Structure 1
Amino acid sequence: MTDESTPKEIFRERLRKARDLRDWSQGDLGEKAGMPPSSIAHFEAGSRKPSFDTLRRLANALEVTTDYLLGRVDDPGLAEAGDPLFRDIGKLSGHDREIAQDFLRMLAQRKSGKKDKDP
C-alpha cells in the first residue's frame, strides 16, 4: 500500500488480504457475513463500496477491526494486542482459528467443570 492509495483501493486490498489470510473463498466470506458472494466480488473489484452495516458484518466475520479494513491500522488483530493470548490470532487461517476456538472452548468447559466438582 502506498501513500497514494485511495480509501477504496485500500479497502478492497485489505478485504482480499483478510479473506486470503483465513483461506476463505468469496463464497465462504459471504456465507459467514450473511451476504451473497457476488457482493464480496464487487467489493474486492472496487465496483461497490460497503455500507457501515456491511463493513461491520465483514469485519466481524473476518474477526478483524474495521480500522484494519479501512487502512487506519496495519495489523488485522490490533484490537486484541493488549492480551498476549490473542497477539497472533489475526494471522491464523480460518480453519486454524476454528481449531483454536474449539480448543479454548474445551479449556473453558474443563475449568468450569472443575469448579462444579470442587467442594
Structure 2
Amino acid sequence: MNQGQKKKPRRSQVVDAKVFVDRVKLLMEGKGLTSSELADRADLARSAMTLFFAGERKPSADAVVKLAQALGASTDFLLGVSDESKSEELLQHPKVAELVRLFLSLSAKEQDRILEMVRLFCKTSVD
C-alpha cells in the first residue's frame, strides 16, 4: 500500500463504539430509561446491551435501527455521523415548533409556495 493511500476501515471499525455508547446513554438518560427497559423496548437481549456498553460487542445494523427507533433518534446520530441534538434543540423553540406544525399541515404545492416566499423574504431583508 502506498503511503498516500488511506487504509479502508474494516467493517467492524465502522461503528465507533464509544460514540455509540455515549449517545445511547445520553438518550436513555433523557427518557429516564434503564438499559433493561431500553433492551425490552428495542426487542434486544439485555445481555447484548451489557456487551455494547462494556465495549465487548459492536451492534449489528439491525440492533442500531431498533435502538434508534426505541430512542426516537436517527441511526446517523447514534453512529456519530450527524449531530441531531442541534435540530432537537431548535424544535423545542415554540415558534419553530409552530412553524413546523403549520408547514406540515399544508399540501406539497403550498409548502413549495411558502418556501419560495421565505427565500424571497430572506433575500430582500438582507439587501
Compute the TM-score of the two structures, normalised by the length of structure 1.
0.58
> Aligned-residue CA RMSD in angstroms?
2.7
Pick the structure with greater CA Rg.
2
CA gap of 1:37–1:77, structure 2 versus 1, over 3 A, is farther
Distance in 1 between residues matched to 2:21 and 2:33, nearest whole Å:
15
> What is the identity, as a one-letter code, of the residue corresponding to 1:57?
K
**Counterpart pick for 1:8 among 17, 32, 35:** 17
Conservation of the 8 A alpha-carbon contact between 1:15 and 1:44: no
Distance in 2 between residues matched to 1:58 and 1:12, nearest whole Å:
11
CA gap of 1:78–1:39, structure 2 versus 1, over 3 A, is farther
**Counterpart pick for 2:39 among 19, 30, 35:** 30
Compute the TM-score of the two structures, normalised by the length of structure 2.
0.54
Q: Which residue of 2 aligns with 1:51?
A: 60
Report the secondary structure of 1:59's partner residue.
Answer: helix
CA gap of 1:7–1:53, structure 2 versus 1, over 3 A, is same
Conservation of the 8 A alpha-carbon contact between 1:18 and 1:62: yes
Conservation of the 8 A alpha-carbon contact between 1:67 and 1:73: yes
Distance in 2 between residues matched to 1:77 and 1:58, nearest whole Å:
20
Aligned residues: 81
CA positional deviation for 1:10: 0.8
- The list of structure 1 runs, each at least 4 consecutive aligned residues, that deviate by more than 6 angstroms after superposition, is none
- Does residue 85 of structure 1 match 2:84? no
Percent identical: 29
Structure 2: 5+ residue stretches without partners:
1-14, 99-127
- Does residue 60 of structure 1 match 2:72? no
